[in-house]
Amino acid sequence: MRPSALRALCLLLPLFPFASVQAATATPSRAQLEQVDGGPALHWVKAENKKTQNALASDPRYKPLYDRILSAQQSPDRLAVPTQMAGEIWNFWQDKVHARGVWRSTSEADFKSGHPLWKTRFDLDELSRSEHANWVMEGLNCLEPADRICLLGLSNAGEDAHELREYDTTTNQFVQNGFRLPNGKQAVAWLDKDTVLVSRDWGTTDAGLTTSGYPYVVRALKRGQSLSQAQEVFRGTGQDMEVVPTVLRDGQGHQVVLIDRHKDFFHSEVERLDPGTLKTSQLPMPEKYDGLSYQDGQLVFHLLQDWPTAKGTIPADSVVAVDPDHPQALEIIVTPTKRQTIGDGMDGAIAATKDGLIVVMYDNVQPVLMLYRRGSSGHWSGRSIELPKNMAASIVSSDPHSSEAYLQLEGFIQPPQIWSVNTAKQNTQLLYSQPELFDSSKLTVEQLFAPSKDGTQVPYFVVHAKDWTKNGANPTLMTAYGGFGLSYLPVYHPDLGITWFERGGVYVMANIRGGGEFGPAWHEAARHAGRQSAYDDFASVARDLFSRNITSAKRLGIRGRSNGGLLMGVEFTQHPELWNATIIGVPLLDMLNYEHMAAGASWAAEYGSVSTPEGKAFWDKTSPLQALKPDVHYPTPFIFTSTRDDRVGPVHARLFAARLQELHVPFFYYEDMEGGHAGTVNAAEVAHERALEAVYLSRRLMDPR
């Protein structure tokens, strides 16, 4: 990865020289912009990047902000997030010396001592130098319970596609003549020490990738075999989203081998594989679930639908345990209320240990830790542990062969904490609290509610100074996500604290529909054509801020990434009068064509397909790219993406910026040449992009007008 070394020109006008960033650049055609690495497209990208950098990085505020963000990103005071592996605590760490990162380890006792002595086990910077490669770490997949041999993932510049190499945790070396899978979008699971289940593009027309760009054929690959010699064990279809193998092992020595056929983003069929015969049989599982764990021979998962069973219908959002050998034997562990939900829609809400189960629940978007045990009668019982308010909780590590697991807590102004959780003793212990990386002593957080267009109460968090004045003039940055059942929860962002909180900015996070803050029903309300309710929720929160005299349109900016970038694009076009700044990150914006762009086909279950009359009618009037109109006063946006994003792709952002260029609407555009869908992958690039944003927001929302 290249370091960020910017040389910017001084501006003649210190404030709002937005038209100047639009110096004439020939706009490539759509076909040219769609060629991700094509000459005309990259020439245009580099020219737009240069304009943005010249306009913003020359601001006297840029360098101090950049330096402080970089220092925070590389701070030795950051918490080391634990991963239990090979009988030790492992951690992936990046700093000034190790920009790409190292895997390092210490003993569990040493980790809990508060002063661990780390031993480097794998150095990604050293590998990248020796191979003259641009490697980004994609994680370790190890064979339990010994965790001696692992498949180490290496991505070129942060792409989802990656290669896999076998690594030995006892020698700290790649295994000579070990498993090595070439670059591609792939998923693997260890069947035994000499066999891996692999889902990938096998290089033939009948075993390639789905229309979503993911593999659908699983084969068993034995040590020493070439890819062409691997034995097929399951195939989906090219119209599926993806097919993924999974091997689960519990602390009692049970093993279950599953193949998850994702028919779309939310609906799955689960096959059970017999390791001896390599034959599969379908398990009677619900189509919509997440959070799959394995404890005491029981499959435990979070239901995302009402599930009719012989014992009656189990409500959506419940946590259920099923015996895969006797699927009719099932038990409800917990069913949340209407204002509660399980987790945040990501991994980290349910984890199995040797003797118990950990569940993270949210009650009105406030965290609760639940500990469950399965008694000798087979029934589950549990207790709740109160957690600090206005924070998010996530299980960052668990081990089916240990009673210990680790939980991370963090808030907008509360630095991350690492807690140990013991399911045998059913207790918790605070191990680490990260020192503050910005001054939060004068800040507070409150939760408010806004009525949406249809009367629905939408919660939102507000971070502000304790002594603020509600004068309608507070510079305010607002964000949300509102999609895929993912909850938007408090996160400690040092860059935000440095560039916004410390400088008097108000921050608002809205929990709009489409997310998972109140369970599957909150998500379902904003799927397909119902998405307008999410967009209405967001605009309603903005108007609520105005009615409370917190801010005004000329002092309100918005920011979002990915699906949140789509949200920003819609709000930019539907309500340009409500904001004076809009940051649109790694976005989807051409929704009339998204299904044929990068991995877009995989999201039809969320957005609705434009091949249907309903989907076409909705996105005809809502797609941000097509909604851009001449003679409309739009606030100058900041658009950022990554050339190496192979999930959403940079084409959406390019087309949107090009259309603005055609309409003579000023904008800022920044496309990182590496980084994948994360946008940026090292501390220097993160600091650079965030500092550019900070200058942009300062000019639009903080400076005198």
Active-site residue set: 562, 677
**Sign (positive or negative) of CA dihedral 679, 683, 687, 690:** positive
Contact of 428 with 386, CB cutoff 8 Å: no
Q: How far is Cα 13 from Cα 546, in angstroms, rounded to an integer?
A: 31
Number of other CB atoms surrounding residue 77 within 10 Å: 10
**Sign (positive or negative) of CA dihedral 163, 651, 486, 612:** negative
Q: How far is Cα 406 from Cα 358, in angstroms, rounded to an integer?
A: 10
Rg over alpha carbons for the chain, rounded to the nearest Å, is 25
Stretch (H or E) spanning 324: none
How are beta strands 102-106 and 88-93 bridged, if at all? Answer: antiparallel
Stretch (H or E) spanning 590: none
Contacts of 226 (CB under 8 A, 6+ apart): none
Contacts of 392 (CB under 8 A, 6+ apart): 344, 367, 409, 410, 411, 489, 490, 491
Contact of 589 with 565, CB cutoff 8 Å: yes
Stretch (H or E) spanning 111: helix 108-112
Residue showing tokens 């602390």: 251
Q: How far is Cα 39 from Cα 61, in angstroms, rounded to an integer?
A: 34
Contacts of 41 (CB under 8 A, 6+ apart): 28, 32, 33, 34, 35, 654
* CA-closest candidate to residue 543, choices 637, 460, 466, 622: 460
Residue 184, sorted as left (phi over 0), alpha (psi -120 to 50) or beta, turns out to be left
CA dihedral 44, 566, 588, 160 (to 10 degrees): 110
**Total residues belonging to the chain:** 705
Contact of 393 with 410, CB cutoff 8 Å: no
Give 39: exposed, middle or buried? Use CB within 10 Å, 0-12, 13-18, 19+. exposed
Residue 431 φ/ψ, nearest 5 degrees: -100, -45
Number of other CB atoms surrounding residue 687 within 10 Å: 24
List own/partner pairs for 196-199 with CB under 8 A and 24 or more apart. 196/151, 196/220, 196/221, 197/221, 197/233, 197/245, 197/247, 197/257, 197/259, 197/273, 198/230, 198/245, 199/242, 199/243, 199/244, 199/245
How are beta strands 506-510 and 556-561 bridged, if at all? Answer: unpaired
Give 213: exposed, middle or buried? Use CB within 10 Å, 0-12, 13-18, 19+. buried
Structure tokens at 603: 């999201």
Taking CA atoms, 463 is separated from 242, 486, 510, in Å, by 40, 21, 12
Query: Alpha carbon 436 to chain centroid distance?
Result: 24
Residue 537 φ/ψ, nearest 5 degrees: -55, -45
Beta-strand (E) ranges in 470-555? 476-479, 506-510
